[in-house]
Amino acid sequence: EAGVAQSPRYKIIEKRQSVAFWCNPISGHATLYWYQQILGQGPKLLIQFQNNGVVDDSQLPKDRFSAERLKGVDSTLKIQPAKLEDSAVYLCASSPRWASTDTQYFGPGTRLTVL
């Protein structure tokens, strides 16, 4: 079974530029998550999708971040405009259903550096 795929793996941009990340979850997984992990911190949930609907986006900085999950499969996370403090690893995870006992499987992440 293929794991969670993410691209690009690395991205370097200047502040005020825009950037987009792509995630392809494990086939058949209904729930998709985007986390932000700043160096030295644990991952922080940004947004959670159940199929193609948003379940929780309370920690997403909506003035600059946006995300969508088309047709309940792939997802994109966009930052526009980027700030220095957005430098982090952006992790996508998926789980089979929407249950507290489900394992969340993480992709390799996209490391963003904002200069």
Provide, rounded to whole angstroms, the least separation between the CB of residue 100 and another protein.
4
Q: How many CB atoms lie within 10 A of CB 73?
A: 15
Tokens representing 89 are: 């690893």
Q: What phi-psi label fits residue 16: left (phi over 0), alpha (psi between -120 and 50 degrees) or beta?
A: left
Cβ atoms of 43 and 35 within 8 Å: the answer is yes
Choice between 6 and 86, CB closer to another protein? 6
Q: Which residues bind another protein (CB under 8 A)?
A: 31, 33, 35, 40-45, 48, 55-56, 91, 97-109
What residues are paired with 36 via a beta bridge?
A: 44, 90
Choice between 82 and 92, CB closer to another protein? 92
Choice between 17 and 113, CB closer to another protein? 113
Provide, rounded to whole angstroms, the least separation between the CB of residue 102 and another protein.
7
